[in-house]
Every structure is written in structure tokens, then in C-alpha cells.
Amino acid sequence: MPFSSLGLSPALLKTLEQQTFTTPTPIQERAIPAILANKDVLVIAKTGSGKTASYVLPLLTNLQGSIGLKNRHANVLVLVPSRELAEQINGVFQVFSGALPQSVKTMAVYGGVSINPQMMALQGVNVLVATPGRLLELVGANSINLSGVQTLVLDEADKMLSLGFKDELDKIIALLPVKRQNILLSATLSDDIEHIHQIMLREPVVVKIAAEEASLDSIRQVAYLVSPDQKGPFLRYLINHHQMKQVLIFASSVHQADAVVNKLRKNNIDAKAIHSKKSQGARTDTLAHFKSGKLRVLVSTDLMARGIDIHFLPFVINYDLPRSPKDYIHRIGRTGRAEAVGDAISLVSISELHHFEIIQKKMGRTVNLITEKITKV
């Protein structure tokens, strides 16, 4: 089924063609017609399934001809758990809204940066992508009014609830008009998500895509048994031996991420870290350079990983294992996307072996563990 059969704006179809997107993903094929029909929608799907475009495209189509609210009254509100995801989603809106006949102003707002420029820029906004805390600050300063919101999107609702945004979400929802379209997207259908689903959604169209196994099928996994003191040298060996041009490395903490970057740079490997201690400007620039291929190695913590969405990322390396098996799957899911094969490599010390066995059991996959020594490091 081509995009042209879904009822999208001709201008958006032209942009999709220019971006070489020809066939919708399963989630887009099912969600787009429902959103175009102004129905409430519940999407349960893993990251990488095309969920952002599944609501951006139909919402932009529906906005054409319906824009005309009072100033500082957003038509569409998208709530997200992190700054990086806010910028990523806003970027998708901007890519597709640029060619529309009727101008659509989109904007991302989040904490960690000065609020004053955001307050001034909200004039004339139609689509607002926001983290809950900063949005409430802007509402309190009378910089934005939510009484005219026609569509509310909760993206990565599971992550927002796990990070403790429930009270802020309740406050925001209370400020919205009762009559509105609701779109809820989550990786899982937990008890918390089910509760919000029951409160918010009216006879929703449910789109559930079991993408986890399919995505794992396109990821070549391997692990190496490496002593802690040899992880650094072995990491450099892997990068150079496989001539990795773009690799995402996960570290267990901010301190560890910085330490890995320092060692790589001392050995003439271009690398930068992205984590919560970096300024928003530095994080945005670093991520942009990595996505464009100008930066060879990006070292990240789990908290920052939600904003890293690259269709053809070839390599992911677990320098440290994550605490949760779910985080392991989320990490390696950064590669092997868009039907491309990717490589996920884990460096495992003896003390981590039992935890790695638990990860494999939860994942339902056995990962080849290589124990022979690599001497050329």
C-alpha cells in the first residue's frame, strides 16, 4: 500500500517522495487513516517502527484549513519525556510542514535552557512539542494557553510515567478542553498505561505492532569476555579493526562516558559524550554531528538514548551492560533498523557474566560469547 492511498495532503506526499519514503510501515498504514478521521488512537510499538511520522503526517494534513486560533493558543500539543526527543519530533514536524500551502509553526520547549527566548518564540505557534515541567512553567507565565488544543499526543508515555511525570501530566490534562483528539504512544501496555488509556481515550483505534522480535532478527549480536582493565584497549581495537565510521557506545554513568571519550580521543579516535551534565547546546550539536556522520563515535548514557534515532546506524557497543534487560534491548535496537542489518557488540567482564545470562534469558536469545584472547590491541 503506497502513502498516496492513505488520504494525506498532496504537499506531504511530494515531500515523502523527495525523502525517498515510498511505502508506509505497518504502524503508519493503520494509524494514519484513524488519525485523519479524528479518532482517538492507542499505539503500542517499539522505537524504530515509524511511530513519529504515523501522527505527524495526518496531524499536519488535518491542520490545513483549521488554523486560525487566537495567538499563543496551540492547535496540537505533543508531550514527551526528554529534551532530545522533543527536538527530534519537532524536527520531523518541520521537515514535513515546510512545503504545506498553509504555514504551520512548530516549536519544541523544554527545561535546562533559558525560558525567556521560548516565551517570546511561542507567538503564533500551532504545534507545540514539550516536556511537562517546562510546559507548566510557560502556562504559569501566561506564555501559552491550552484551552484551544484540538489534539493531545503523549509520546513514549511509558517512559514519562516511569520517570515520575504522572502528577505533571494530570495538571496538564486538567487544563485541556474535554473535547479533543487523543493519541497515546507507548512501547508497552503496562498497568499505568492502561490506567491513562481508560481515563483519556474514547473508543480508540488500537494499533499494536510486535516489532521487538523482528528488529532483533536484523541485529547480529556478539559478546566478548574482557577484563575491566582491558575494555578500553579492546574497544579501540574493535573500532579500528572493523573500520567503524559511525558507532554508538553505551556507558553505565556520566563519569564512565567521559572517561571512555577521553581515552578514545587520546588515541586519535574522534569521540564525544552525550549525557545529562552536558549543556543543551552541546548535546544538540553533538547529536547533529553524529547523525550527519561528521562525528565517528558517540558515547551515551541510557537516559540520553531516547533521542538517538538513526535509520542506518551500523554499530552499537555496550561498554558496560545495562541494569535492565529491557534497556539492553532498547540499546541494541538503535541499530538494525529500516530493514538494514546492524551489529551489536557487548564487552562482558567475569563479574557481569551472570547478569548477561539473565539478559539473554529475558530476551529469549543466546548471544555468542567469545573468550579467546585478542592480542593485537
pLDDT of residue 359: 94
86 and 230 belong to one structural domain: no
Q: What is the 3-state secondary structure (H, E, C) of 109-151?
A: ECCCCCHHHHHHHCCCCCEEEECHHHHHHHHHCCCCECCCCCE
The range of the structural domain enclosing residue 260 comes to 213-370
pLDDT of residue 69: 62
Per-residue pLDDT tens for 331-374?
898 887 656 788 999 999 999 999 999 999 988 899 999 985 65
pLDDT of residue 284: 78
115 and 250 belong to one structural domain: no
198 and 296 belong to one structural domain: no
181's enclosing H/E stretch is strand 181-186
Q: How many CA atoms does the CB half-sphere of 328 hold within 13 Å?
A: 26
- CA distance linking residue 183 with residue 200, whole number of Å: 9
pLDDT of residue 190: 74
Closest CA to 181 of 94, 312, 66: 66
pLDDT of residue 145: 93
Domain end among 210, 244, 276: 210
375, part of any domain: no
Per-residue pLDDT tens for 277-307?
777 678 878 888 998 899 999 999 876 665 5
Average pLDDT over residues 224-250: 94
- Other Cβ atoms closer than 10 A to 254: 16
Strand partners, 41: 183, 205
Average pLDDT over residues 313-326: 91
- CA distance linking residue 13 with residue 31, whole number of Å: 16
Q: How many domains does the chain have?
A: 2
Q: Is the pLDDT of residue 188 over 80?
A: no
376, part of any domain: no
* CA-only gyration radius of the chain, Å: 21
270, part of any domain: yes
Q: Is the pLDDT of residue 55 over 90?
A: yes
71, part of any domain: yes
Domain end among 195, 210, 225: 210
CATH number at residue 359: 3.40.50.300
86's enclosing H/E stretch is helix 83-97
Mean pLDDT, rounded, of the chain: 88
- CA distance linking residue 48 with residue 52, whole number of Å: 9
236 and 349 belong to one structural domain: yes
Per-residue pLDDT tens for 127-142?
999 999 999 999 999 9
Strand partners, 368: 222
Per-residue pLDDT tens for 99-138?
888 889 999 999 989 999 999 999 999 999 999 999 999 9
**φ, ψ at 24 (rounded to 5°):** -70, 150
56 and 77 belong to one structural domain: yes
Q: What is the pTM assigned to this prediction? A: 0.64
pLDDT of residue 268: 95
pLDDT of residue 159: 82
Closest CA to 129 of 145, 152, 112, 150: 152
- Other Cβ atoms closer than 10 A to 24: 22
Per-residue pLDDT tens for 10-36?
999 988 888 767 788 889 999 999 999
The dihedral sign for the CA sequence 183, 186, 188, 194: negative
- List for the chain the helix, strand, coil content (%; round to 5): 45, 15, 40
Residue bearing cell 516565551: 119
Per-residue pLDDT tens for 57-80?
999 999 987 776 678 889 999 999
77, part of any domain: yes
pLDDT of residue 373: 60
282 and 158 belong to one structural domain: no
Closest CA to 87 of 248, 290, 277, 284: 284
377, part of any domain: no
203 and 272 belong to one structural domain: no
194 and 255 belong to one structural domain: no
272 and 337 belong to one structural domain: yes
258 and 366 belong to one structural domain: yes
Domain end among 181, 210, 239: 210
The percentage of the chain sitting over the pLDDT mark of 90, rounded to a whole number, equals: 55
The dihedral sign for the CA sequence 94, 182, 188, 214: negative
Per-residue pLDDT tens for 206-234?
988 764 444 578 899 999 999 999 999 99
Judge residue 203's burial from the number of C-beta atoms within 10 Å of its C-beta, 0-12 exposed, 13-18 middle, 19 or more buried.
exposed
